[in-house]
Structure 1
């Protein structure tokens, strides 16, 4: 759903109220009932909050974990899907990213750069790498890669509450963000791919530790 991508890419900002169900349904060419289920899901994982008499509001990072119910069995299973998808992506992304960047047009690279700069301007440093994966799901030359990465990208949504503010605001995260941007500006596809892989590995290990604390199974090693 476009709404999920917009939130993940920072196009729907924290504190913003979403359009009505009817407007979202028309925008995404979906039924109102489908949009309602999607918003129920986003409410459950703490990405948005529906407020009586006001509408549905996009929550700030520091509010997400507090509004997510980690005890729900179905969500705990989804967290397992998330960590396994992150594991697969971290293991496979380097060659895929490099090949995709080399095949991109200048306009496509600029689109990716604008996405990163928009997220970093909002101090959402930890989301940059996931924005890149979302672009890969759309722009990869191989149909098989586009299909695979589109599925992986969808699973990343379940890990949204785990992306705590400390990860996004840390000096290390800011340095990683700056390095990614500079590599893209200099069209250094190899370095960009390596940096992205390193960031995904770090996020995998962080998520693995967090899930173990709440008793959710995760891959024990990075392959």
Structure 2
């Protein structure tokens, strides 16, 4: 996994949590830089940045020749207060994450395990054999190994952000696993079953103890009125990311009908005020949309909506990062959307399902079936009872807007609407027949199809560009 700019803050918070809660005490040594670098799969310079920040905050002393030494030395009672100040305001989020994590993360690591080869199982057994007290809870190490098999940085990013929010799995002591029994099992599934059972029990016990602590600490530290802090997913991206986020917002407004082809967009200064960004960011955003054929700039007057397919260079580094995130978002959705849609369906009143059926019918009548993702994801982000799911799917909807210029480029002069008409009809039929299983499966199938089409198209474009650059044989 390769973390982008700013990921050192994740490593910083990882060790900050352990120091503040007393896992590392005064004069203890943190793991060496090569060891931290190897686990997080980042450059040593990134680790050094995190350690420098820890030193700046007074938590450690950094030595060029030795592992960082803990210098934080509070009164012993302070460790308990630190934990209370962190966990009490996150009680709702922690409770929500217990169920939300199963919907979002379990399908991913199950898929990762299916892709494990012999080397992956050998690495897991090596980790079980190797005594690494104080470095990483076994549950996290196990899940990271499984998720890494998917070769999807966005999924790993999400997992780390969830652990970053929960924090308490970072503090769980290493559970005892019978390595010899696991090694002698007849197949990898037996190894997984035994390890997972131990980890689930350990996690459940730690979770129960944490919530008991929160109940006592709320009164003990007068935190009854502490505002709750929700989970927020910070996606690691290469810069500049602001113009891509803004471009996604404008594309969604165009998709929803706020602007139509030929309409003038607001002035630069008006967009700057509306979106809370600089004029320079607005200009860069319009340059990007112009390149995609979404908009067209005019000298001396406001830019207008164009909506015509234009060939753009998919090999640009900034475009490659956006395409990577888009493809990884599709894979994450393919894995999670069946459970998420089924769960949300079962949580809402029948009137809301009827409303979605009516919304889909309008798309078909207006020949705008490409907006089905907006309808489906709005259903989740507004109706799912779990905040972590609403947060994740809101972020994924922004990443999916990359699909619009790609679809224009892929289809050329053909209309986008027919590409999704059959899918919309299938969703309507499932809603009409009260078939949540079919509804969930339809979404999974569509995500698989979308992923396959886009991946094949990108490969074809790259091959064509490479052939053109190579010239005649």
TM-score (norm 1): 0.76
How many Å separate the matches in 2 of 1:38 and 1:92?
A: 31
Mean alpha-carbon deviation: is it higher for 83-92 or for 176-185? Answer: 176-185
Q: Is the 8 A contact 1:129 1:200 kept in 2?
A: no
How many Å separate the matches in 1 of 2:301 and 2:356?
A: 34
- In the alignment, is residue 182 of structure 1 matched against residue 429 of structure 2? yes
Mean alpha-carbon deviation: is it higher for 174-183 or for 37-46? Answer: 37-46
Aligned length: 211
Q: Which residue of 1 aligns with 2:299?
A: 52
Q: Which residue of 1 aligns with 2:445?
A: 198
Please report the RMSD computed on the Cα atoms of aligned residues, expressed in angstroms.
Answer: 3.0
Map residues 100-115 of structure 1 onto 2, 5 A cutoff.
100-105=344-349, 108-109=352-353, 112-113=356-357, 115=359
Once the two structures are superposed, what CA deviation does each residue of 1:59-110 show, in whole Å capped at 9, x if it has no partner? 33xx13x153424221022111111111111111011012112323456446
Q: Which residue of 2 aligns with 1:99?
A: 343
How many Å separate the matches in 2 of 1:11 and 1:117?
A: 20
Consecutive unaligned residues of structure 2, counting only runs of 5 or more, are: 1-245, 464-473
2:328 to 52, 63, 84: 84
Aligned to 2:447, the other structure's residue is in SS state helix
Q: Quick one: structure 1 residues 169 and 159, their matched pair in 2 at CA, closer, same or farther if it must change by over 3 Å?
A: closer
TM-score (norm 2): 0.39
Q: Quick one: structure 1 residues 187 and 40, their matched pair in 2 at CA, closer, same or farther if it must change by over 3 Å?
A: farther
Q: Which residue of 2 aligns with 1:16?
A: 263
Aligned to 1:184, the other structure's residue is in SS state helix
Aligned to 1:55, the other structure's residue is in SS state strand
Measured after TM superposition, the shift of residue 157 of structure 1 is 2.0
Which structure would you say has the larger RCO, counting Cα contacts within 8 Å and 6 or more residues apart?
Answer: 1
How many Å separate the matches in 2 of 1:84 and 1:111?
A: 30
Q: Quick one: structure 1 residues 107 and 76, their matched pair in 2 at CA, closer, same or farther if it must change by over 3 Å?
A: same
1:125 to 369, 372, 377: 369
1:151 to 383, 395, 409: 395
How many Å separate the matches in 1 of 2:434 and 2:286?
A: 38
Q: Which residue of 1 aligns with 2:420?
A: 173
Measured after TM superposition, the shift of residue 183 of structure 1 is 2.6
Q: Is the 8 A contact 2:272 2:282 kept in 1?
A: yes
Q: Is the 8 A contact 2:341 2:440 kept in 1?
A: yes
2:460 to 205, 213, 220: 213
Consecutive unaligned residues of structure 1, counting only runs of 5 or more, are: 217-223
